[in-house]
Amino acid sequence: MAIDVGAGSVRRVRSIPMRRTVRRLMHDPAGALLEFAREAEGQVVRLNLGPFRPYLVTHPDHVQQVMRLEWTNYQRVGMFWRPLERLFGHGIMSDGEHWRTSRAILQPLFTTRYIATLAEEMAARVAGRIEEWDEHARTGRDIDATTEMSGIITYIVNRVLFGDKLSRQDAERIIPAIDLVSHSLVYRFLMPFMPYFIRIPRDRACLRGIKQIDDVVYPVVREAMAHPDDNLDIVSVLCRFTDENGERLTAKQIRDALVSVYTAASETTAMILTWLWLLLDGHPDIAARLQAEIDEVVGDGPARAEHVPQLAYTRMVLLESLRLYPSGWLVPRHVMEDAEIGGVRIKRGSTVLITPYATQRLEEFWERPDEFDPERFASEKTAGGERRHRYSYFPFGGGPHKCLGEHLFYVEAPLIVASILSRFRLSVRTPGPYTVAWAASLRPKGRIELGVSFARRGRSAVAGHDRSAVAR
Ligand code: HEM
């Protein structure tokens, strides 16, 4: 494998044996891209993977050019996005007219003001769901971190975004299916040039996962289309929508929107919360400060909507966790017309890879980039007093495709962390080091087990909150 670093024009600067580089990518995909970016000191890097030669773009100026300034020239089409079409169809996770329509329909459901109206309900949901861990705290039975974090998220998402139109059982059936698809799609990402009539590893598993998702989602869509209501959840809003010609969305369009939002909302948030416990376990001083804030603001809990603005340090911890482990770690774009980035000429039809994982750890923009230090988010400026480059930190992307769920995340995640830590103490049972798996979102390799104990003695005897109000 060769890496070409561009400066003025694309030129070959060094060559690494292909097998070794592929091994690095396979072993630690995000880490390998970071290594290439650091070697190139933020310049555009060309990865030569035989028939597939994408450009790795990590300098914040270049990221801004691709994601915002010239975004129409860098679209979500082409061989990297084709595998995702199997899962998401043509909607909010695509580009062009389909994306524009979906974004216009969904955006009003994700404004700061609208999310604020859901906060109290989210808080009640979180409280109800984590009480189920009492059993683990009593018996000493560990929990599987990613499964439990996904369980909490889908429980919230199902209520606030889907108006409880999926039963809890169905919602939980989707989690392993999304997991299966997320892991299986990776082979298509690694071999984007492979035609679809040739089966590659995990293709069958991927299609099985998508079928499992469709088996749950389509009946919900058909039922909602047959009996429309006035609710403000996504399913109802999509079913009521008519375009300028009075046409309604098809069942497939509604299914695509629901699966896109469901996947975007659950995997990403569940993964960052999983990394969070690993980070806190390795940094007892930060964990203690976080705990002190939660004790002071939330006390015995549960966390409520009014606590969120007071949880300043919790927010800093989340921001820093997202710097080190941005769940949306790989953001590919297809180059529509010949272009130039950082002096490098890029031909139409090429693929550009953006990865917040690498940019957010570049030494040129972050002091001690690999260190977990939430304090850096105490101010918008760097330690040297300069304003941070807007695109040196972009865990939620940027430009017109910026994540719709960012506000939701900053209400939901502090509520979850504060509710858990006001009731329990968690300890990581799986020994490190923790490496990154090859999956559509940044996730730790293997199963992460957490031990659960009550935060306060005698807690098991404390009557729970009124679970009937929130549980199904
Ligand atoms: C830790 C949490 C999250 C992270 C790190 C994250 C990250 C991202 C990133 C990087 C993008 C940009 C993709 C691109 O430019 O191609 C994105 C888009 C998107 N995210 Fe998120 N996301 C998170 C949570 C959520 C949640 C909670 C929701 C919904 C409830 C959501 C819904 C979406 C949607 C619909 C898009 C597509 C927006 C568009 O293209 O117009 N995300 N997200």
pLDDT tens digit at each of 472 positions of the chain: 445 544 444 444 344 556 666 777 778 889 999 999 998 888 898 887 777 788 999 999 999 999 999 999 999 988 778 878 888 898 899 999 989 999 999 999 999 999 998 999 999 999 999 999 999 999 999 999 999 999 999 889 888 888 888 888 888 788 888 888 877 777 777 677 777 777 766 778 888 999 999 999 999 999 999 998 888 889 999 999 998 898 999 999 999 999 999 989 988 999 999 999 999 999 999 999 999 999 999 998 799 999 999 999 999 999 999 999 999 999 999 999 999 999 999 999 999 999 999 999 999 999 999 999 999 999 877 777 788 999 999 999 999 999 999 999 999 999 999 999 999 999 999 998 888 887 778 989 889 999 999 997 655 433 333 333 332 2
Alpha-carbon distance values, 180 to 66, 206, 381, 437, 468 (Å)? 31, 6, 41, 13, 32
Give the number of other Cβ atoms within 10 Å of residue 152's Cβ. 24
Residue 360: CA count within 13 A, CB half-sphere = 26
Calculate how far, in angstroms, residue 272's C-alpha sits from the geometric centre of ligand 1. 13
Q: Is the CB of 408 under 6 A from ligand 1?
A: yes
> Does 397 sit in the ligand 1 pocket, CB within 6 Å?
yes
The rounded Å distance from CA 397 to ligand 1 centre is 7
Q: Whose CA is nearest to atom 43 of ligand 1?
A: 403
CB neighbour class for 157 (10 Å; exposed up to 12, middle 13-18, buried from 19): buried
Mutation pick for ligand 1 pocket among 112, 261, 268, 273 (CB with most ligand atoms within 8 Å): 268
* Ligand 1, atom 40: closest residue by C-alpha: 401
Q: Which of 192, 172, 174, 170 is nearest to 182 (CA)?
A: 174
Q: Quick one: 134 exposed, middle or buried, by C-beta within 10 A (0-12, 13-18, 19+)?
A: middle
Return the ligand 1 atom nearest residue 326 CA: 5
65 touches ligand 1 (CB under 6 Å): no
SS3 category, 378: coil
CA-nearest residue, atom 1 of ligand 1: 269
Helix (H, G, I), strand (E, B) or coil at 136: helix
Q: Is the CB of 266 under 6 A from ligand 1?
A: no
Residue tagged 């995340």 (tokens): 409
DSSP E strands, 137-182 = 143-144
Contact yes or no for 316/258 (Cβ under 8 A) = no
Is 403 marked within a binding site? yes
Q: How many CB atoms lie within 10 A of CB 238?
A: 25
Which residue's CA is the nearest one to ligand 1's atom 16? 331
Label residue 319 left, alpha or beta by phi (over 0 means left) and psi (-120 to 50 means alpha).
alpha
Fold of 1-85+327-394: 3.30.43
